[in-house]
Chains A and B, each alone.
Chain A
């Protein structure tokens, strides 16, 4: 055995090790509990809809501190949306793995969003790709969330799927402005029909992040859902509630929800994706 060969072996061994470590660290889609003290069971599913490109992306990370789920809905030319959403998800996960985010959840969120924004801008040309991102952290039955864009966060409890976030769409903005008095009622009412995004990650003037004001206390048995607009626009709220009411694992339910979209006869179905976290 010559030395170069030894070195080669060691290097390949290290490479393999790195790969494994990387694989081990990235939580892909654990269906059921791996560690004993698991916070929740999760499952997610995506569908391309009628589009050519799947521009959604999501990820769930778990450390000993807690669980973090992030869903990103990309948009843009060519594959810009896809890249943007991927970058967003990755940066959120990286940051989450790095330190105990629960120490200061707001800081984490802010940092994550900023990082994602910067990275997208650095990687992609102006206006080529952007993403709506929503992230949820659960630690000891307390839920923290933050979002930018039109990804919806909702909590399903006892038969009711309750939306937690309002989202950064025009109609919401109009309502707010009306409340502030900056917009007349008429105008506000007129704008209520518009659901266009006005804020998202991957733009220069990015700042607004919708945060939790108080962490939501969960009692166990609830399902936290992150949905892209393709899903919550395409499926009636009631059907979602009914689906979540049934027995089954999160993965099964996520698949079922996505199936609703697939079954529809529409020609213009958006990408739809959903993450479900069941609090144990």
Chain B
């Protein structure tokens, strides 16, 4: 299609020159969409070398298999030529220079290795031309030799790159070159450029018309007219690009493409800018957040929890904006911890240590989620609170002990509390203990006073009670049982008042004893009265002895009962009785005297007898017992 819509004219000439054989070759293939033009110059050390032909054949074949203008494809063409020469099984090594031109009827791309040349003419001027890959060229580039010597220089055929090369094959492949209608391409081998100056070649093309044949002829004429001594193989090919293929609607297509591309580009740019901006802000935010985060940690390290909370809150805000979940959770944990610590601190500052302690423990719990931040601080606080609470405990214990009037123990506790409070520098606690101690001492002294007063009172009561008891005892000894009972009862009362149980009991015993005694007395009195009655009866019966006995008994009883009145009475009676008894006695005595006198004699006799017997007995016994 392209071929039909463009006009490309090709013509060439290739001769052996003075040589026996022509080792140059030129070939071209024009397909529908692509065209390929190849020129090659065989390098021969030995005769019978057809390297050029073989190379070009392989290139054309490859091109026909796979026509394309892409760089790698063109490289594959020249590589195929190289491989073909390397792989040839002939006796000798084949080497050649080659130039390949591939075109899609609107642009061209060329590749070459060696010293075959290509020139592109546009409106009579040289648009582009190749440089030989030879040592002479290198030297010329380094300005070791002048340009015009190049064509005759002995190293002009000393190639560093050629096909048939085994190692380091690096041909040159051009970019795409846009053709315009009227362009001319010229391909030629060293047979031409050795003998013709470039300027001369350019001259021909500057005046060229539209006819390929004329060009070739003039070229050949010029060459041969020089009559060079040693004309090697020469080949010359021209390609006239009279009409270049123009894609229809190219303009519109281009416009469309351009607008689309522009729009896309703008969008891309906008997106990029937006993204960049977002990233920047995001980066800034992240930095900010990290800064606040480190600040938080540092403040916590300094135990400045208020500021830490501020920073943490600020960091949390930023984290929310950034939607950084991990940071958010972490920061909120930190925040909770900080707030817990702050509430604990408040409680602590307000002296509410119990609450502070719970709050700190709470904070400790939270600490687990917050990387154990402020660990030391909370621990310190907690131990302090422990001590404070211990102080309070001591105070409380002391208080309760004081309540129970165990003042010595209470004092102990208070002192322990004070010691502890001083050691942990708990001023308030210490103050509290001092106050408590003061209170304690006041109470203690008061209690002691009360005690002593009580004791005094008690003592007094006791004393009076004892007195009463003594009095009771006296009464008791005086057999004044009723008074004794009265005393004892009063004493008992007193003892019971002072709460002296033991003495109270003693008194009760005493009272019982008294009562017993009273009963005894009553019984004795009855007995005495019975005796008395008996006595009187007997008195009446004139049994004055028995009556006296009775009255003596009764008197004894009354003496025993200490009823002196009754005793006197009875003594009176007894006296009477005694008199009566005496009278009786006198009478009885007289009677007796008589009897006695007689009895006395008898008894004396009896006794004398007795004595004599006794003595006789004694003497016997003495004899018996020596």
Which residues of A come within 8 Å of B, CB atoms?
159-160, 162-163, 171, 174-175, 178-179, 185, 188-189, 192, 236-238, 241
Contact = CB atoms under 8 A, between A and B. Distances in A.
14 contacts: A159-B166, A160-B45, A160-B93, A162-B45, A163-B45, A163-B46, A174-B20, A179-B18, A189-B21, A192-B21, A192-B47, A236-B90, A236-B92, A238-B93
A179 B90 CA distance: 27
Nearest to A240: B91
B533 interface: no
Interface in B125-172: 166
Interface string B91-108: 111000000000000000
Contacts of A237: 46, 91-93
6 A-B pairs closest in CB distance: A236-B91, A237-B92, A175-B20, A237-B91, A188-B20, A178-B20
A171 B45 contact: no
Interface in B19-70: 20-21, 45-47
B16 interface: yes
A162 B16 CA distance: 23
Chain B residues touching A, majority SS? loop
Given A175-B47, A192-B21, A237-B93, 19 more contacts: A159-B166, A160-B45, A160-B93, A162-B45, A163-B45, A174-B20, A175-B20, A178-B20, A179-B18, A185-B16, A185-B20, A189-B20, A192-B20, A236-B90, A236-B92, A237-B91, A238-B92, A238-B93, A241-B93
Contacts of B21: 189, 192
Interface in B498-553: none
Contacts of A178: 20
Contacts of A159: 166
B345 to A, nearest CB: 89
Interface string B59-93: 00000000000000000000000000000001111
Contacts of B18: 179
A238 B91 CA distance: 6
Chain A residues touching B, majority SS? helix
A274 B47 CA distance: 22
Nearest to A183: B20
Nearest to B46: A163
A75 to B, nearest CB: 23
A174 B20 CA distance: 9
Interface string B1-28: 0000000000000001010110000000
A178 B20 CA distance: 7
A191 B90 CA distance: 21
Nearest to A188: B20
Contacts of A192: 20-21, 47
A217 to B, nearest CB: 13
Contacts of A163: 45-46
Interface of B: 16, 18, 20-21, 45-47, 90-93, 166
A175 B91 CA distance: 21
Contacts of A236: 90-92
A223 to B, nearest CB: 16
Contacts of A241: 93
Nearest to B16: A185
A272 to B, nearest CB: 15
A62 to B, nearest CB: 30
A142 B560 CA distance: 184
A171 B47 CA distance: 10
B49 to A, nearest CB: 10
A70 B45 CA distance: 23
Nearest to A174: B20
A189 B19 CA distance: 10
A175 B230 CA distance: 13
Contacts of B166: 159
Contacts of B47: 171, 175, 192
A220 B354 CA distance: 102
Contacts of B20: 174-175, 178, 185, 188-189, 192
Nearest to A176: B20
Contacts of A160: 45, 93
A171 B20 CA distance: 10
B232 to A, nearest CB: 11
Contacts of A174: 20
Contacts of B92: 236-238
B258 to A, nearest CB: 54
Contacts of A188: 20
Contacts of B91: 236-238
A76 B525 CA distance: 205
A159 B164 CA distance: 13
B196 to A, nearest CB: 21
A160 B159 CA distance: 13
A45 B166 CA distance: 29
A189 B18 CA distance: 12
Nearest to A179: B18
A4 to B, nearest CB: 67
A193 B306 CA distance: 109
Nearest to B18: A179
B195 to A, nearest CB: 16
A171 B21 CA distance: 12
- Among A178, A189, A238, A241, max chain B CB count under 10 A is at A238
Contacts of B45: 160, 162-163
Contacts of A175: 20, 47
A171 B370 CA distance: 101
Contacts of B90: 236
A102 B45 CA distance: 29
A193 to B, nearest CB: 9
A219 to B, nearest CB: 15
B74 to A, nearest CB: 28
A130 B45 CA distance: 29
B104 to A, nearest CB: 39
A183 B166 CA distance: 38
A169 to B, nearest CB: 11
Nearest to A239: B91
A178 to B, nearest CB: 6
Nearest to B90: A236
B435 to A, nearest CB: 111
A228 B508 CA distance: 168
Nearest to A185: B20
Nearest to A181: B18
A270 B16 CA distance: 35
A131 B2 CA distance: 67
A45 to B, nearest CB: 21
A272 B42 CA distance: 30
Contacts of B93: 160, 237-238, 241
